[in-house]
Amino acid sequence: MSIDFAKNNLLHDYRLKEERLAPEFSIVSNATPALKQENVDVPTVMYIRAQGQTAAADAIESGLSWTTPVDNSSGNSVFGVLMTQLGSIKRVKEIVVTEQTSLATSFTVTKLGVNGLTPGGNIAFEINGTGLNLASESPTFLVKFIYQLND
List of E strands, the chain: 18-21, 24-28, 37-40, 46-49, 70-73, 76-83, 89-99, 106-111, 123-130, 140-149
pLDDT along the chain (151 residues), means of 10: 65 74 96 94 96 95 92 92 94 94 95 90 96 96 93 74
Q: What is the DSSP letter of 34?
A: G
User: Which residue, 32, 40, 80, is CA-closest to 60?
Assistant: 80
CA 11 to chain centre: 28
70 to 32, 40, 55, 82, 130: CA distances (angstroms): 12, 20, 15, 17, 12
Quote the pLDDT of residue 150.
87
* Rounded-to-integer distance, Cα 99 and Cα 77, Å: 13
Quote the pLDDT of residue 12.
64
